[in-house]
Amino acid sequence: PTCFLDLELDGARLGRLTLRLFADKTPRTAENFRLLCRGDAGYSTATWKKTKRSYEGTAFHRVVPGFVAQGGDFTRGDGTGGESAYAGTPGADALGKFADEPCRMRHDRRGLLSMANSGADTNGSQFFVTLAACRHLDGKHVVFGEVVGGLDLLDKFEAGTPPPPERRVVVAACGEL
């Protein structure tokens, strides 16, 4: 499957990231991301308000030049929340955290799509795109896709004034191609 994230930077159109998912190597992780891109994962059980499980409207809350751009927290927006498409289903905890898939792919280049987590088997909705090779992440985070269009947009994440934490990159729209 191929998904897209239409991005805005400080309210202005930035462009489209096109992402090829490695469903053959990481089927559960790829499907989680696909469902959250499509907005087909129902509503969050983690918040008191009715929040759609979707990446639309979420920000890249963490951008570290030369390392990663991280997003996907649709419950809190600051990197402390989020839940997977699997919340409330067998094989996931109450927030939908699910197990790492055995994938031997390495964080060996810019533009890889990987799950952000807080330790083994704690995958939810947060993800990151590598901005450089990050081999120290191998075995700790599951690589489940890659940027196949819009790789140049990553330069815009890293560049400019003010520096990245103060610049707001938002997913204006997302889905599956």
Active site residues: 62, 67, 70, 117, 128, 137, 141
What's 123's DSSP letter? B
The closest of 81, 100, 94, 95 to 28, measured between CA atoms, is: 100
* Contacts (Cβ under 8 Å, ≥6 apart) of 166: none
Task: Determine how many CB atoms are found less than 10 A away from the CB of residue 42.
Answer: 13
Q: Give the gyration radius of the chain's Cα atoms.
A: 15
Q: How far is CA 31 from the centre of its chain?
A: 12
φ/ψ bin of 150: left (φ > 0), alpha (ψ from -120 to 50), beta (otherwise): left
Tokens of 57: 């409207």
